[in-house]
Chains A and B, each alone.
Chain A
Amino acid sequence: MNPQNDEEVLRREYLLGRLSDQAREQVEERLLGDDDFVEKLSTTEDGLIDDYVFGTLSGNDRKSFEKNFVINDERRRKMQFAQSLDVYLDKLDGPLPSTPTEAPPWWETPLKAIRSYKFWVAVPALGLLLFFAPRIYRWLQPHDQISFVQTHRARIERQIAEFNKSNDQSSPAQELVLDPSAGLRDGGGIKRVTVPADIKTLTLKLAVPSSSEQNYRALVATVEGIEMFGIDNLKQEVESGRTFVQLKIPTEFLDTGDYQVQLGGIGPDAQLTNPVRYYFGVIK
C-alpha cells in the first residue's frame, strides 16, 4: 500500500528507522500523548508488514524494513500472520469461502448474470469476435506470426543490448536486487516492485556466486515460461563484497505481471552454462 499523505509517509519513515533524531523525537512525543496517532501508527505498521510480505515494497524500503523493523518476536508473529493471509488468499483463488446463508433460488444465477455489466460487455464482444474470426485466423497463420515475432524480438534485444552497453544513467531508474531462487515461492515468494510512470528503467541486480564466467547471458521470460528476450555480454560487478550481474530493462517492455530471468555463462553451442533462475514481479 503506497502512503496516502505526508502523515502516512512520516509514520512509515519512523517505522523504517529513517527519520533524523529531531524528527524522531517529535514523533515519539506524539506517540506518548496522542491516542489517535498511536492507532494510526499501528495501522501503518500492519500496512508495512503486508507490503513486505506481498512483495510490494520497493528495494530500499525492503532493506530498511529488514534492518530496522523486524527486530522483535511480536513483529515477526505479525509477519507470519500476513504470510498466512497471503497464502490463504492465493489458495482461495478468487471466490470467497461459502457463507453460511440460505441458498438462492435457481433463477437467481441467470438473472444475476444478465444484470451484470459484464454480460452486456460480453455479448457485443462475442459478436465482434465471431465477425473478425476469419481475418484473425488468417493473420495468425504461422509464417506471418513467426516472422513478425522474430523481427520484433530482435529489435527489442538490440535496443536492450545497446541500453545495457551505454551506461546511460540519465533516465530515472528503479533498482531491484534479486537472489537466485531455489524454486517459485520456495524463497518466500516473488519480489515485486511498483514502477511509477516516470521510471524509465528497471535495473535488476542479479546476485551470482563469484565465478570465472567472463560473459553472461540473461533470458527474460514470463513466469509461465514464455520467452521474451535474451541479452548477451553482461558482466559481473562486485559491490559491498557481493557479486552481481546488472541487467537494465526499459520499463516500456514490462507490463504488470510476474517474470523470470535465467542467467548463465555462454557455452560453445550458445547454450546457457550453469544457469540460475530469478523471479520478480512488476506492478505498474
Chain B
Amino acid sequence: MKTDLTLTNEQFQKLLAWLDTDPERAGVKYEAIRRRLIAIFLNRGCHVPEELADETINRVARKGCELMEGYQGDPARYFYGVAKKIFSEHMRKAKKRRPDPPPMVSNAELEPRLNCLDECLDALDPESRELILDYYREQKQAKIVSHKEMGKKLGINAGALRARTHRIRAKLEKCVRECLDRAGESNDIN
C-alpha cells in the first residue's frame, strides 16, 4: 500500500495533546493504540499491519485541530473508524494470494535456540522454572485436568495459572531473543 508517511512535529504533538494533556500518559496511550491497531490489522489477515497502523495514525493526525476540537468521546474509537476505512482501501489494492505457512524448522536448526532456552531457564527463579516446565509438559499432553490440579496446588484458578505462565513465557522469550542476538545467531525468519 502506497502511503504518505510524512507527519510534521507539530501535527504529532497535537495528536499527543489530544490523547492526554499529560505528555507522559499521552505517549503511553499512543503506544497502546498503535499496538492494538497492529493487532487488529494482523487479525484481519494483513501482512503489513505496522504500515497500516502508522497510516491510520498519520491520517488521524493530519485531520488536525478541526477534529480534535470537535470530537466527543474516546479517541481510540475514532482511530478504529479510520482503521476500518484504511483496511477497505488496502483490501481493494492488495493481492489475494496469501503466502504458504512457514515450514517447521529442523531440530538441528533449533540447537542454538535450545542452548539459549536452557540458559534462560537457568536464569529464572527455581519456582518459575518448575512452574513453566510442568505447565508445558502437561500442555503437550493436553491435560487440562492437570492444569486445574496445578492451579489448586498454587491456590489459583486455571485462568490465573495461564496468565502467570504467560508472563513467565514472555520473559523467557525475550531472554532467548537477547541470547540469540548476543550469540550472533539470526533471529530472522526464513
Contact = CB atoms under 8 A, between A and B. Distances in A.
Interface of A: 1-2, 4, 14-15, 17, 24-25, 28-29, 31-33, 38-43, 46-47, 50-51, 53-54, 56, 65-68, 70-73, 75-81, 83-89, 91-92, 96-97, 99-101, 185-189, 192, 194, 283
Given A50-B139, A77-B187, A87-B114, A96 B107 contact: no
A33 B74 contact: yes
B104 interface: yes
Contact of A32 (B36, B45, B47, B163): B36
Q: Which residue among A77, A78, A101, A283 has the maximum number of chain B CB atoms within 10 Å of its CB?
A: A77
Contact of A31 (B36, B122, B142): B36
Contact of A71 (B80, B98, B141, B159): B98
Identify the 6 closest CB pairs spanning chains A and B, nearest first. Answer: A188-B104, A66-B101, A84-B113, A43-B166, A76-B189, A56-B142
Interface residues of B, number: 58
Contacts of A100: 122, 126
Secondary structure dominating the interface of B = helix
B87 to A, nearest CB: 10
A71 B47 contact: yes
A31 B118 contact: no
B117 A84 contact: yes
Given A51-B139, A88-B117, 7 more contacts: A1-B144, A17-B43, A43-B162, A47-B162, A84-B113, A84-B117, A99-B130
A46 B161 CA distance: 14
Contact of A83 (B49, B110, B159): B110
Nearest to A44: B162
B127 to A, nearest CB: 10
B183 interface: no
A2 B144 contact: yes
Interface string B88-121: 0000000000110111111100100110011001
Contacts of A68: 45
Contacts of B49: 72
A123 to B, nearest CB: 25
A186 B169 CA distance: 26
B176 A83 contact: no
B162 A73 contact: no
A80 B142 contact: no
Interface string B170-190: 001100110000000001110
A273 to B, nearest CB: 30
Contacts of B153: none
B136 to A, nearest CB: 6
Interface of B: 33, 36, 39-40, 42-47, 49, 74, 76-77, 79-80, 84, 98-99, 101-107, 110, 113-114, 117-118, 121-122, 126, 129-130, 133, 136-137, 139-142, 144, 147, 158-159, 162-163, 166, 169, 172-173, 176-177, 187-189
B163 A15 contact: no
Nearest to A75: B42
A58 to B, nearest CB: 11
Contact of A78 (B47, B140, B142, B173): B173
A62 B144 CA distance: 20
Given A2-B144, A4-B159, A283-B141, A92 B173 contact: no
A47 B177 CA distance: 20
A206 B159 CA distance: 38
Contacts of A38: 36, 39
Contact of B33 (A32, A72, A79): A32
A55 B28 CA distance: 38
15 contacts: A1-B142, A32-B77, A38-B39, A43-B162, A54-B139, A68-B45, A70-B101, A71-B42, A78-B173, A80-B113, A80-B189, A83-B110, A88-B117, A89-B133, A192-B142
Nearest to A99: B126
A25 B87 CA distance: 13
B56 to A, nearest CB: 12
Nearest to B37: A32
